[in-house]
């Protein structure tokens, strides 16, 4: 349909991935041209299945879903079962999609679509960057064929899987560095901004109450997070992966600044850290290639997500 923004989503669903994918599939402004699955929150056999079933859940079986990497480029795979459960969607069970399985693999399908979209395709990445690094290595002209690369990953400050690394970059830092080095027009939605995109206890219960298959999915898919976060202070549920999708819907919800970003691949205690010159002396002496997102209008982001998810009855 003309006027809609063409989007590709590479993802490892994943609880917040699921909400992000569903938002994109239900957003009339966005035209999801394809979804590719990568290992990450769970093994790829689960993330691929979940991505297919999410398209089905959103009544969007026609959106093609492609299988991608099962392991990082060099590191041993680390998944996140404590947060996302073994299957990636915690206690939720989605109806099986009967859509035909795509024959192309993630990197080939992405390249084909980028060429077809002639510079307009927005690449959204919600998991480790393994599929994208493979695509960039196989098709060196691919970065130039994309309008932009909208990454949930990294952090200018801090970390979540280690004190200084964010999960998606930590799982495959070599892939992330390949993308930061070769990628152009990169937007980094790291923990600096995504940890400001939390749901309060009251907001969570507001969304989780009531009937309907979306509400049930929301409740069941967040079961591990709730069990983990239950403490006297309440809990926080981060909508990390919803951020880049919401940005494509309405960029004014976010604020960011340009910087050069590299991912640390060798450090023994700093592996997976995204090192930026955001606040330093710019000693990288290279041109900034990444917009590091720093602020979000949290209330508006939550409104966006709830409006999109409400479309699923």
Q: Which of the residues are catalytic?
A: 240
Q: Is 37 in the site for ligand BDR (CB under 6 A)?
A: no
Q: Is 305 in the site for ligand BDR (CB under 6 A)?
A: no
The footprint of ligand BDR on residues 230-289 (CB under 6 A) is 240-241
Q: What is the largest CA-CA distance in the chain?
A: 55
Q: Is 88 in the site for ligand BDR (CB under 6 A)?
A: no
Neighbour-count burial of 311, counting CB atoms closer than 10 A to its CB (0-12 exposed, 13-18 middle, 19+ buried): middle
Using the contact rule CB under 6 A, the part of the chain among 87-95, 103-111, 164-172, 272-280 near ligand BDR is: 164-172
Q: Quote the least distance from Cβ 126 to ligand BDR, whole Å.
A: 5
The footprint of ligand BDR on residues 179-238 (CB under 6 A) is none
Q: Is 167 in the site for ligand BDR (CB under 6 A)?
A: yes
String of contacts with ligand BDR for each residue 55-84, x by CB under 6 A: -------------------------x--x-
Give, in degrees to the nearest 5, the angle at Cα 73 between 67 and 75.
120
CB atoms within 10 A of CB 251: 11
Using the contact rule CB under 6 A, the part of the chain among 10-18, 115-123, 221-229, 269-277 near ligand BDR is: 10-18
**Residue 27 to residue 181: CA distance in whole angstroms:** 31
Residues that contact ligand BDR, how many (by CB under 6 A)? 15
String of contacts with ligand BDR for each residue 108-137, x by CB under 6 A: ------------------xx----------
The residues pairing with 124 across neighbouring beta strands, listed in sequence order, are: 9, 150
- H-type helices in the chain, by residue range? 15-26, 44-57, 81-84, 106-117, 130-138, 142-145, 167-171, 173-182, 191-194, 201-208, 213-221, 223-229, 242-249, 298-309
């Amino acid at each position: 349909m003309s006027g809609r923004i063409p989007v590709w989503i590479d993802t490892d669903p994943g609880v917040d991935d699921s909400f992000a994918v569903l938002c994109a599939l239900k957003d009339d402004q966005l035209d999801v041209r394809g979804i590719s699955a990568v290992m990450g929150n769970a093994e790829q056999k689960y993330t691929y299945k979940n991505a297919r079933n999410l398209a089905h859940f959103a009544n969007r079986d026609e959106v093609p879903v492609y299988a991608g990497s099962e392991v990082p480029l060099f590191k041993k795979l680390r998944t996140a079962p404590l947060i996302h459960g073994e299957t990636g969607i915690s206690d939720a069970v989605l109806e099986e999609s009967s859509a035909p399985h795509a024959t192309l693999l993630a990197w080939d399908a992405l390249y084909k679509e980028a060429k077809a979209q002639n510079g307009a395709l927005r690449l959204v990445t919600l998991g480790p960057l393994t599929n994208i690094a493979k695509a960039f290595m196989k098709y060196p002209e691919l970065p130039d064929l994309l309008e932009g690369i909208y990454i949930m990953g990294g952090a200018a400050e801090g970390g979540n899987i280690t004190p200084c690394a964010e999960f998606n970059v930590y799982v495959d830092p070599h892939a992330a560095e390949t993308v930061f080095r070769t990628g152009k027009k990169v937007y980094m939605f790291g923990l600096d901004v995504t940890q400001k995109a939390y749901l309060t206890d009251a907001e969570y219960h507001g969304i989780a109450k009531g009937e309907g298959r979306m509400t049930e999915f929301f409740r069941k898919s967040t079961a591990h997070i709730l069990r983990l976060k239950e403490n006297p202070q309440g809990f926080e549920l981060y909508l990390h992966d919803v951020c880049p999708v919401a940005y494509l819907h309405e960029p004014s919800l976010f604020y960011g600044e340009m910087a050069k970003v590299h991912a640390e691949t060798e450090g023994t205690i700093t592996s997976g850290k995204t090192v930026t010159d955001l606040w330093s002396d710019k000693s990288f002496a290279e041109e900034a290639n990444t917009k590091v997102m720093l602020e979000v209008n949290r209330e508006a982001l939550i409104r966006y997500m709830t409006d999109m998810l409400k479309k699923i009855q």
